[in-house]
Amino acid sequence: MSSLTSHWLKKLSESKKPAYLLIADLIEEDISNDRLRARDRLPALRDLADELQLNYTTIARGYSEAKKRGLIDSQAGTGTFVRGRPPAILLRDGSSAEMTMNMPPEPAGLAAKLQSDAARLIENADIYNLMRYQDFGGSAEDREIAAQWLSPYVPDCSAERVLVSSGIHSILLALMSQLARPGQVVCVEDLVYPGIKAIAAQLGIRLHSIPSDADGPIVSALEDACKTQQPKAFYCNPTLQNPNTKTMPLSRRQALADIALRYNVPIIEDDAYGMLPVETPVSIARLAPDLTWYISGFSKCLGAGLRIGYVCAPSARQAQRLAGALRATTVMVNPISALLATNWVKNGIANEMLKAVRLESGARQAIAQRVLKAWPFLSNPDGFHIWLPIPLTAGWRASEFALQLRTQGVGAVSSVAFSTDNNPLEAVRICLGGPNSRDECELGLKLVSETLEYPHHLHIPMM
Q: Selecting from 3.90.1150.10, 3.40.50.1220, 3.40.50.300, 3.90.1300.10, what CATH number does the domain 86-126+348-463 have?
A: 3.90.1150.10
Q: Is the peptide bond preceding residue 243 cis, with omega within 30 degrees of 0?
A: yes
What are the residues whose beta carbons fall under 8 Å from the beta carbon of 317, sequence distance 6 or more?
Answer: none
Asked whether residue 460 carries a pLDDT value surpassing 60, the answer given is: no
* Rounded Cα distance, 173 and 418, in Å: 17
- What burial class does residue 105 get, using C-beta atoms within 10 Å of its C-beta: 0-12 exposed, 13-18 middle, 19+ buried? buried
Chain center to CA of 228: 32
Residue among 222, 230, 242 nearest 168 (CA): 242
Kindly state the percentage of the chain with pLDDT values over 70: 94
In one-letter notation, the amino acid at residue 309 is G
- The H or E element containing residue 19 is helix 19-32
What are the residues whose beta carbons fall under 8 Å from the beta carbon of 302, sequence distance 6 or more?
Answer: 104, 341, 344, 350, 353, 354, 357
Q: Where are the domains of the chain?
A: 3-78, 86-126+348-463, 134-347
Asked whether residue 462 carries a pLDDT value surpassing 60, the answer given is: no
Global pTM value: 0.78
Q: What pLDDT score does 408 carry?
A: 76
Is 435:92 a contact under the CB 8 Å cutoff? no
Q: What pLDDT score does 458 carry?
A: 42
Comparing 30-44, 189-203, 283-297, the range with the smallest average pLDDT is: 30-44
The CATH T-level fold of domain 134-347 is Aspartate Aminotransferase; domain 2 (3.40.640)
Residue 418: pLDDT band by 50, 70, 90 thresholds?
A: very high
* Rounded Cα distance, 381 and 410, in Å: 22
251-278 burial by CB neighbour count: b if 16+ within 10 A, else e? Answer: ebbbbbbebbeebebbbbbbbbbbbbbe
Q: What pLDDT score does 88 carry?
A: 43
* Rounded Cα distance, 50 and 27, in Å: 18
CATH architecture assignment, domain 3-78: Orthogonal Bundle (1.10)
